[in-house]
């Protein structure tokens, strides 16, 4: 699970990018950070599943009222290591 420093850093980053957190479903303003990363696999063929291919690492915040999940790509947030090649 995420450390307290990781959580604090991610929350600060989200708050710096999104001026007012508002749930698109219920208009609530309170979210909680999911305690871990997501790694959504990308598929080029929806008739089969491949594991270990390209993916979009992300974090998610969850609306505290209705449970709506908002995912945010770690690459865009500047939270992925820079590729050196």
Interface positions with Zn ion (CB under 5 A): 23, 25-26, 28, 63, 65-66, 68
Indicate the residue among 8 and 29 with the shorter CB distance to Zn ion: 29
- CA 78 – CA 75 distance, rounded (Å): 5
Indicate the residue among 23 and 34 with the shorter CB distance to Zn ion: 23
Q: State the minimum distance, in angstroms, from the CB of residue 51 to Zn ion.
A: 32
Q: State the minimum distance, in angstroms, from the CB of residue 2 to Zn ion.
A: 22
Q: What is the DSSP code (8-state) at residue 81? A: P
Structure tokens at 23: 């749930």
- CA 50 – CA 35 distance, rounded (Å): 26
Q: State the minimum distance, in angstroms, from the CB of residue 32 to Zn ion.
A: 11
Three-state secondary structure call for residue 5:
helix
Indicate the residue among 22 and 43 with the shorter CB distance to Zn ion: 22
């Amino acid at each position: 699970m995420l450390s307290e420093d990781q959580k604090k850093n991610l929350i600060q980053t989200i708050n710096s990018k999104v001026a007012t957190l508002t749930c698109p479903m219920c208009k609530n303003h309170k979210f909680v950070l999911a305690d871990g990363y997501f790694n959504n696999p990308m598929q080029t063929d929806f008739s089969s599943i491949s594991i270990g291919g390209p993916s979009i690492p992300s974090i998610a915040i969850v609306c505290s009222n209705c449970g709506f999940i908002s995912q945010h790509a770690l690459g865009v947030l500047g939270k992925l290591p820079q590729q050196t090649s």
